[in-house]
Amino acid sequence: MHAPRGQSAVGSDLLFVVLAAAVALEAVGVGVLFPLLATIQKDDHLPTYGLGMMSGASFFAGLIAQLAVTPHLDGARSRRVLFAGLAVGAASQVCFALVGSLWLLVAARAAGGVAFGILLPAALRQAGAGRVGAERGQRLGRISSSMMAGITIGPLLGSVLYSFGGIRLPFLAVGFLLAVVLCAAVVLDRPDPDGDTPEAPSAKESWQLRGIPIRMVAVVLLVGAAAQLPNGLYDALWSRLLTDRGASALLIGLSLTLFGAPFVVLAPLGGRLALRRGPLLCAAVALVIADCFMATYGFVPSPVVITLLGVAEACVQAVAVPSGYALVGEVFPDERAATGQGWFGAAGTAAAGIAAVTGAPLYATVGSGAVFAGGAVISAGLAAAAAATGLRRRRR
C-alpha cells in the first residue's frame, strides 16, 4: 500500500528530487576527473600504475563505506547519510584540486569513494521503498539516470573548465556546488515522516540472510560484479586509451558525455523492461552484449570510432544496470532492500576496484587490446554464470 501524498516512501517528492540531485552531483565529481587523468599524470609526473591506484582507492573506499553504512539504511536515516556524503564529497574535491603528490591524490580519491559509497545505497533504498512492479523499476531507473547524468555532464564540464581555468578549477567548482546542495538539503530537512518506524537492525542482524535463498544472493553478487567490472577499467584507463590515440582532453570529455547520454534517457525504460521480461534475463543478456563492445576498444585506432562504439554500449547498459537494481528488489524483501543493495554494490565495487588496480599496470605491459578484451571475457563469464545459476534455481 502506498503512503498518503506527502508521506511517501521518500518522505516527499521534493526530498526525492534533492536526493536525486545529490547523487547526480556526486557523480559529476567522479566524471570531471576522467578526461583529465592523462594530464594530471603528465603534470605531476605520475607512473601509469598510479592511475590504477587512484581509481582503486575510490572503489575500495566506496566498498568499505557501503559495507559499514548500508546495514543501517533500513531504518529512517537517509538524510543524515545524504548530509555526510555531500560534506565528504565536497571536501574530497577541494583536496584533489590543491594537492599534487600521488599519495595525497589517492587519499582524496578515497574520500570521494566514501562519499559516493554511502549516498547511492540510500537513494536506491528510498526510490524503491513501498513501490511494486513497473513503478518500482521506473523509480530505480530514475536514480540510475541521475547518477549517469552526473557522470555524463562531468567529463565535458571538466574539459571545458580546464580549458578556461586550468587543472584546479573543475574540482574547486564541483566542491563548491556540492557545498551549496548540502546547505539546501539542510534547509529543506524536516522530521522524517517514517520516524515512527522501528530502528534499523544492528549490522550483524542486517547482514544475515535468513529467509533469502543463498543461490539467488549469489546471482545478485555475480550480476553486480559483471556490471561494474568494466567501469573499473574505464575509470582508470579511458583517458589514457584515447590520449594514446591522439585525442585531446576536450574530445575525451565529449566521448564520455556521449557515452552517458543514452543511459540518462533510456534507463527508466530499461527499468520497466526488466520488470516485464524478468530482471535476471535482461541483465545477463544486456551485459554480454555490452561486453562485446568493450572487447573491441583496445584494437580500434580511431578515438572517434571508439566513441561511437561507446554510445552503442551505453544504450545496452541502460537495460543492464536498472535490471540489476530490479533483481535486488526481486530477491530481497522490501524491508531488507538496503541490505540487498549493499550486497549488490559491494560486489560491483570490489570487482571494479580489482579491475582498476590490475588493469593499469597490465595496460603498460601487455597493451590495451589484451586488457579490454580480457576484462570483457571475465565480465561476460560472470553474467553467464549468474544466468545459469538463476535458471537452475527456477527449474527447481
Spans of all domains in the chain: 13-194+202-395
Q: Which of 71-75, 139-143, 262-266 has the lowest mean pLDDT?
A: 71-75
At 197, is the pLDDT very low, low, confident or very high (cuts 50, 70, 90)? Answer: very low
335 grid coordinates: 524491508
Buried b (16+ CB within 10 A) or exposed e, 180-193: ebbeebeeeeeebb
Predicted confidence (pLDDT) per residue in 317-348, tens digit: 888 888 888 888 788 876 676 677 778 888 88
Averaged pLDDT of the chain: 79
Residue 369 has pLDDT above 90, yes or no: yes
Q: Span 133-137, mean pLDDT?
A: 60
Residue 243 has pLDDT above 70, yes or no: yes
According to the model, what pLDDT value does residue 1 have?
36
Q: Span 279-286, mean pLDDT?
A: 91
CB atoms within 10 A of CB 42: 10
CATH 3.40.50.11260 for domain 13-194+202-395, yes or no, is no
Q: Please choose, from the candidates 229, 339, 322, 241, the residue with its C-alpha nearest in 3D space to the C-alpha of residue 276.
A: 322
361 grid coordinates: 599496470
According to the model, what pLDDT value does residue 78 have?
61
> Of the spans 112-121, 141-150, 218-227, which averages the highest pLDDT?
218-227
Q: Span 67-82, mean pLDDT?
A: 66
According to the model, what pLDDT value does residue 318 have?
86
H helices present in the chain, as ranges: 13-31, 37-43, 48-69, 78-98, 102-128, 133-165, 169-188, 203-207, 214-244, 249-277, 279-294, 303-331, 337-366, 368-395
Greater pLDDT, 83 or 316? 316
The rounded distance, in Å, linking the Cα atoms of 332 and 350 is: 21
Task: Evaluate if pTM is beyond 0.95.
Answer: no
Q: Which of 125-139, 165-179, 302-316, 332-346 has the lowest mean pLDDT?
A: 125-139
The rounded distance, in Å, linking the Cα atoms of 19 and 72 is: 18
Residue 58 has pLDDT above 80, yes or no: yes
Greater pLDDT, 333 or 103? 103
Q: Span 309-320, mean pLDDT?
A: 90
Q: Span 63-74, mean pLDDT?
A: 72
Q: Which of 6-20, 193-207, 357-371 has the lowest mean pLDDT?
A: 193-207
The rounded distance, in Å, linking the Cα atoms of 149 and 143 is: 10
DSSP class of residue 191 equals -
